[in-house]
Chain A
Amino acid sequence: MKRKRIIRTACSVLVVAFTLFMLQRLLLPKYVSDVVEGRLIAEYYAEEKDHDVIFIGDCEVYENFSPKILWEDYGINSYIRGSAQQLIWQSYYLLEDTLRYEKPKVVVFNVLAMKYDEPQNEAYNRMSLEGMKWSMAKVKAIQASMTDEEHFLDYVFPILRYHSRWSSLKAEDVEYLFTDRKVSHNGYYMRVDVKPAKDVPEGKMLADYRFGENAYQYLDKMAKLCRDNDIKLVLVKAPSLYPYWYDEWERQIEDYAKQNGLLYINFLELKEETGLDYDSDTYDGGLHLNLSGAEKITAYLGQALQDEYHLTDRRSEERLSKIWADKTAAYEQDRRKQEEETEKQ
C-alpha cells in the first residue's frame, strides 16, 4: 500500500514537472521571426569562450560593430553581449556573467546607457535578462532592473509571465520548441538596407544634464571589475544620431575617462576619419548603422585597439581560423540573402 502510494506520488510529480516544462517551453517567445533582439544574449553561451574583446551595451553596440571585421582585419576574436535598451546595471552584470566563462583583454562599453538612472521597461528587461544563464549575476541584474509592476518570480518561472500566449501561438513556437536559430554574428545584428539620415531632430532641452548617481555607481563598478581582472575598459559612443547625444553628456564622459585613465572614443566626432556617410551607412535614418556603416567604424575601432593595447593577431591560430571561416561564410550568406531581398523590394 505504502509502495503503491510512493509510486503514485512519484508519477504525479513527474507528470506535473514534465507538463509544466513543456508548456513553459511552448509559451516562451522564440524571438525568431520578429523582435530577434530577444535572442541575442542567450546565443553567447553556445560560443567557444576565448574572446579578446567583449562589447557590452544597447543597440548601439549590437547594430554598429561587426566582430567579423575585427577578426578579418586585425585577428581580434570578439563578441557583442548587447541587447535592446540594455541598462548600465544590466551591462555590468552581463560583464560579471561573462567573467564566469572567460577573461577578455578589452571590454568595450557604449555610454548611451548612462542616460538612464532607473528601471525603464519590462519588455526590454525581458530581452536583456531572459537569455542570461542563472547565476548570482542574473539574480542581481533582475533585482536592479525590475519595474514596479514586475515580480522576481515571473523571471524564475517565465510561464507566469507568458501564460496568456496560448491564444497567439504560431507554428514557430512548436518548430523552435527545442531548437534555436542563430540570429546574430557574434552578437552583431546585421542589416544591409539603406535609409539615409534626413531631418534628424535636435535634442530637446533637459531639466538636468547630469547623469544619475546610480548610473555612475555602476560605471564605477564596471571600471573596478575591469581593473581587478586586468581588463582594459574602453568607453565608446556609437555614431547614432538619435537618441541625441548632448555636449553636456559628452563632457561628463570625457571627464570620467580622463579621471579613470580610460580610452574614450566618440564616433560621432569621427565622421571623416571613419568615412561614415549618413546617406548610405544607416538603415533607419541615423538611429543605427547598416552593415556598410558598421564595417567602417569597426575597422577604425580595430586599429585603435591595436594601437592602444597591441592585441595579438590570432589569425595564425588554426582552430580559431577554422571557426571564423565558418562564421564568415554564414555572415556572407546572410549579407547576400539580405541584399537580394532588398533588391527585390
Chain B
Amino acid sequence: MLFTSYVFLGFLLLLFVCYYTVPKKFQWMLLLLFSYVFYFLANPYYLIYISVTTASVYYLGLKIEEQAEKQKAYLAARKGTFGKEEKKAYKKRVRKRQTGLFLAALILNLGILAVLKYTNFMIANVNGILHAIGSGHTIAFVDLLLPMGISFYTFQAVGYLIDVYRGTIPAEKNLFRFALFVSFFPQLVQGPISRFHDLSQTLYEEHEFAWSGFSRGLQRILWGYFKKLVIADRMLIGVNEIIRNPDEYTGAYVFAGMMFYALELYADFTGGIDITIGTAQCLGIRVTENFNRPYFSKSIKEYWRRWHITMGTWFTDYIFYPISVSGPMLKISKVSRKALGDRIGKRVPVYLSSFAVWLATGIWHGASWNFIVWGLGNWAVIMISQELEPLYRRFHARFHVEDKVGFRIFQIVRTILLMSCLRTFDCYRDVPLTFRMFGTMFTAGNWNILWDGSLLSLGLQLADYLVLLAGAALIFAVSMLQRSGSVREKIAAKPYPVRFAVWYGLFLIVLLMGVYGIGYDANQFIYNQF
C-alpha cells in the first residue's frame, strides 16, 4: 500500500475514526492490528519475517534481562559473603550467557536480512570471479522475497536488543506491545529508525482526540504530499530520462541530472517522513525527526548529522562507538601510535571505525557495488576534510571569512555539489558507468543545453519547470522560516482566513499539480527500497 494511493488515504481515515472511538486502553492494540493489516496487504508472506524478528528479539531480550535480574538477586542474597574476585567471576559468567543470547538474536536477525537482501549480490560477485578466472561455471540466482522495510524494522529491533543488552532500557514484557514497536506502520516503510525509549513514551499511551494536534498532523501530511507529488515525482520524469539514456545525455545533462536528483531525493525522502510523522501526530504519537534542513549544511560531516538523522545516530551508537572501544581496536591504537607516532597513530582507530560505519551504511542502502562505493566515497571526503582541518584553520586565521555570509553560502553550495557528485553512484547504479558519465561533464562541452531549451526534451514542459522552481522556492522559504520555530505554529497564530487560505491553497496545489493518476507511474518512495 503506497502512501500515495487512495487505499492508504482510506486506510488512514478508517484508522483515525476507529482510533478515537474505541476505548482508549485498546488504542495501541488497534494500532497493532492496523499495522499488521498494512503489512499483510503488501504481501501476506511478509508477516512471517516480521513475526520471526519480533518473536526472537522479544524472547531473547527478555532472557538477557532475566540473566541480569538473576544476577542482581543472586548477588543480593550473597551480599557480604562474596569476595570481590568471586563477584567479578560470577558477573563475567552471566555476561557471557547474556552475550550468547545477544549474539544468537543478532545472528538470526541480521542473518535473515543478509540472506534476503545480499545473497544475489554475493552470487553475482562469485560469478564475476568465476568468469574472470575463465571458469565456465556460474551459480544461478535465487528468487528470494524481500519484505518491505526489512532494513528499517530489523535495525529498529536490533537497536532495542543492544539497548537491553547494555542495560540502558528494560525489556518490554508484553509481546504484543513489542510487536507494535517493530511494526508501527507509518515508519515501517522508510523509517525513521526509532529507539524504543523514544517511541514507547507515546506509542502505548492513551490518546484523547485533540483538534490542535490532529490538525497539525494533517498539515504535516499535506506538506509531505506536496513534496512527494508536486516536486519529487515531477522531477523524477527528468531524472529518469537522463539516467536511463546515458549515451544520449552526457556532459551538462549529467550535471543537470545530478542537481535534479538532489531536489528529487530531498523532496521524496523528507516528504515521506513528513507523511510518517504527520500520521503519527494525528494519532498523538511522537516520532523522532529525521531531517534538520540538511541542504543548509556547511560540510559533509554536518550534512550527515542533519540528513537521515536516525540512521546516522544508529550507526554511530551501535557500530562506531562499539568498534572504537573494542579490544582489537584498542590494540590497533597501541600499535599504530607506536609505529606512526602519537599524532597520526591516534587517528588510525577513528579512521578504521569510520570506514566500518560507512561501509555498513553503503551496504545498508543496497546490495550493489554502487552503494558501497558511494558509502566509501562519503568516508573518503569526510576523512580528507578532517585531514585538511589545519589548512582550513590557517586559511581562516589569515582571511577571516568564516563569518561572512558569502563564505557560508559558498560552503553550503560546495556541500550540495559534493553530495550531488557522490549521489551519481545512486543514480546510475553502475560504478564504471558513473565514472564514465561523470567524466563527460568535463569533456562533452555542451553547457549550452542548460539554457538553450534542450532541457525541455526531458519529458518536462516549461510549466513543469515553473512548478518545480516555485516549489523549490517554497521549500526554501519554509526552511528559512523553520529556523525560528515551527512554521505550522506560526501559521496557526494567524487569523482564520489566512490559515484557511494557506492550507486550502496547499491542498489545491497538491490536487492539481501533483503527479499522480493515469498517465504517470505510481512511484514508490525511493527509501522504500532499503
Report A's interface with B, CB cutoff 8 A: 8, 12, 15-16, 19, 23, 27, 122, 149-151, 153-154, 159-161, 163-164, 166-167
Bound together, the chains give a CA A20 to CA B508 distance in angstroms of 9
**B512 and A23: CB pair below 8 A?**
yes
- For A166, give the chain B residue with the smallest CB separation: B512
- For A154, give the chain B residue with the smallest CB separation: B517
- For B511, give the chain A residue with the smallest CB separation: A163
For residue B496, which residues in chain A have a CB less than 8 angstroms away from its CB?
Answer: 8
**B461 and A167: CB pair below 8 A?**
yes
For residue B515, which residues in chain A have a CB less than 8 angstroms away from its CB?
Answer: 164
For residue A161, which residues in chain B have a CB less than 8 angstroms away from its CB?
Answer: 517-518
Seed contacts A166-B512, A167-B461; 19 additional CB < 8 Å A-B pairs: A12-B504, A16-B504, A23-B508, A122-B518, A151-B6, A153-B6, A154-B517, A154-B518, A159-B511, A160-B517, A163-B513, A163-B516, A163-B517, A164-B512, A164-B513, A164-B517, A164-B519, A166-B513, A167-B463
For residue B6, which residues in chain A have a CB less than 8 angstroms away from its CB?
Answer: 151, 153
For residue A12, which residues in chain B have a CB less than 8 angstroms away from its CB?
Answer: 500, 504
Bound together, the chains give a CA A23 to CA B510 distance in angstroms of 14
**A15 and B504: CB pair below 8 A?**
yes
For residue B518, which residues in chain A have a CB less than 8 angstroms away from its CB?
Answer: 122, 149-150, 154, 161
Within 8 A of A (CB), among B489-526: 496, 500, 504, 508, 511-519
| 1/0 contact string of B252-282 vs chain A (CB within 8 Å) | 0000000000000000000000000000000
- For A126, give the chain B residue with the smallest CB separation: B518
For residue B500, which residues in chain A have a CB less than 8 angstroms away from its CB?
Answer: 12, 15
Bound together, the chains give a CA A164 to CA B515 distance in angstroms of 8
- For B519, give the chain A residue with the smallest CB separation: A164
- Nearest-neighbour CB distance to chain B for A323, whole angstroms, equals 40
Bound together, the chains give a CA A88 to CA B6 distance in angstroms of 29
Bound together, the chains give a CA A149 to CA B508 distance in angstroms of 24
- For A161, give the chain B residue with the smallest CB separation: B517
Among B461, B508, B515, find the residue whose CB has the most chain A CB atoms closer than 10 A.
B508
**B514 and A163: CB pair below 8 A?**
yes
For residue B463, which residues in chain A have a CB less than 8 angstroms away from its CB?
Answer: 167
Bound together, the chains give a CA A159 to CA B512 distance in angstroms of 8
For residue B516, which residues in chain A have a CB less than 8 angstroms away from its CB?
Answer: 163
For residue A164, which residues in chain B have a CB less than 8 angstroms away from its CB?
Answer: 512-513, 515, 517, 519
Bound together, the chains give a CA A160 to CA B514 distance in angstroms of 10
Bound together, the chains give a CA A161 to CA B513 distance in angstroms of 12
- For A27, give the chain B residue with the smallest CB separation: B512
- Nearest-neighbour CB distance to chain A for B393, whole angstroms, equals 52
Work out how many contacts link A and B, with CB atoms closer than 8 A. Answer: 38
Bound together, the chains give a CA A19 to CA B505 distance in angstroms of 11
For residue B504, which residues in chain A have a CB less than 8 angstroms away from its CB?
Answer: 12, 15-16
Among B513, B516, B518, find the residue whose CB has the most chain A CB atoms closer than 10 A.
B518
Bound together, the chains give a CA A164 to CA B517 distance in angstroms of 9
| 1/0 contact string of B457-476 vs chain A (CB within 8 Å) | 00001011000000000000
- For B520, give the chain A residue with the smallest CB separation: A164
Interchain Cβ contacts under 8 Å between A and B, 26 examples:
A12-B500, A12-B504, A15-B500, A15-B504, A16-B504, A19-B508, A23-B508, A23-B512, A27-B512, A122-B518, A149-B518, A150-B518, A151-B6, A153-B6, A154-B517, A160-B511, A160-B517, A163-B512, A163-B514, A163-B516, A163-B517, A164-B513, A164-B515, A166-B513, A167-B463, A167-B464
Among B504, B512, B513, B519, find the residue whose CB has the most chain A CB atoms closer than 10 A.
B512
For residue A150, which residues in chain B have a CB less than 8 angstroms away from its CB?
Answer: 518
- Nearest-neighbour CB distance to chain B for A291, whole angstroms, equals 35
- Nearest-neighbour CB distance to chain B for A120, whole angstroms, equals 14
For residue B512, which residues in chain A have a CB less than 8 angstroms away from its CB?
Answer: 23, 27, 163-164, 166
For residue A153, which residues in chain B have a CB less than 8 angstroms away from its CB?
Answer: 6
Bound together, the chains give a CA A8 to CA B495 distance in angstroms of 12
- Nearest-neighbour CB distance to chain A for B219, whole angstroms, equals 15
Bound together, the chains give a CA A161 to CA B516 distance in angstroms of 9
For residue B464, which residues in chain A have a CB less than 8 angstroms away from its CB?
Answer: 167
Bound together, the chains give a CA A23 to CA B515 distance in angstroms of 17
For residue B514, which residues in chain A have a CB less than 8 angstroms away from its CB?
Answer: 163
- Nearest-neighbour CB distance to chain B for A68, whole angstroms, equals 37
For residue A16, which residues in chain B have a CB less than 8 angstroms away from its CB?
Answer: 504
- Nearest-neighbour CB distance to chain A for B506, whole angstroms, equals 13
- Nearest-neighbour CB distance to chain B for A252, whole angstroms, equals 34
Bound together, the chains give a CA A103 to CA B500 distance in angstroms of 50
- For B522, give the chain A residue with the smallest CB separation: A149
Bound together, the chains give a CA A154 to CA B512 distance in angstroms of 14
- For B463, give the chain A residue with the smallest CB separation: A167
Bound together, the chains give a CA A151 to CA B10 distance in angstroms of 13
The 3 A-B residue pairs whose C-beta atoms are closest, nearest first, are: A167-B463, A163-B512, A166-B512
Bound together, the chains give a CA A166 to CA B147 distance in angstroms of 39
Bound together, the chains give a CA A149 to CA B6 distance in angstroms of 12
Within 8 A of A (CB), among B44-64: none
- Nearest-neighbour CB distance to chain B for A219, whole angstroms, equals 29
- Nearest-neighbour CB distance to chain B for A257, whole angstroms, equals 38
Bound together, the chains give a CA A285 to CA B518 distance in angstroms of 33
- Nearest-neighbour CB distance to chain A for B362, whole angstroms, equals 36
- Nearest-neighbour CB distance to chain B for A15, whole angstroms, equals 7
Bound together, the chains give a CA A160 to CA B504 distance in angstroms of 16
- For A123, give the chain B residue with the smallest CB separation: B518
Bound together, the chains give a CA A15 to CA B513 distance in angstroms of 20
Bound together, the chains give a CA A27 to CA B513 distance in angstroms of 12
Within 8 A of A (CB), among B16-35: none
Bound together, the chains give a CA A19 to CA B519 distance in angstroms of 25
For residue A122, which residues in chain B have a CB less than 8 angstroms away from its CB?
Answer: 518
Bound together, the chains give a CA A154 to CA B504 distance in angstroms of 21
For residue B513, which residues in chain A have a CB less than 8 angstroms away from its CB?
Answer: 163-164, 166
For residue B508, which residues in chain A have a CB less than 8 angstroms away from its CB?
Answer: 19, 23
Bound together, the chains give a CA A153 to CA B516 distance in angstroms of 13
Bound together, the chains give a CA A76 to CA B508 distance in angstroms of 50
Bound together, the chains give a CA A154 to CA B508 distance in angstroms of 16
Bound together, the chains give a CA A19 to CA B511 distance in angstroms of 12
Bound together, the chains give a CA A150 to CA B508 distance in angstroms of 22
For residue A15, which residues in chain B have a CB less than 8 angstroms away from its CB?
Answer: 500, 504
- For A159, give the chain B residue with the smallest CB separation: B511
Bound together, the chains give a CA A210 to CA B513 distance in angstroms of 46
- Nearest-neighbour CB distance to chain A for B127, whole angstroms, equals 36
Among A153, A159, A164, find the residue whose CB has the most chain B CB atoms closer than 10 A.
A164
- Nearest-neighbour CB distance to chain B for A99, whole angstroms, equals 31
Bound together, the chains give a CA A161 to CA B512 distance in angstroms of 10
- Nearest-neighbour CB distance to chain A for B507, whole angstroms, equals 9
For residue A160, which residues in chain B have a CB less than 8 angstroms away from its CB?
Answer: 511, 517
Bound together, the chains give a CA A12 to CA B505 distance in angstroms of 12
- For A4, give the chain B residue with the smallest CB separation: B496
For residue B517, which residues in chain A have a CB less than 8 angstroms away from its CB?
Answer: 154, 160-161, 163-164
Bound together, the chains give a CA A19 to CA B504 distance in angstroms of 10
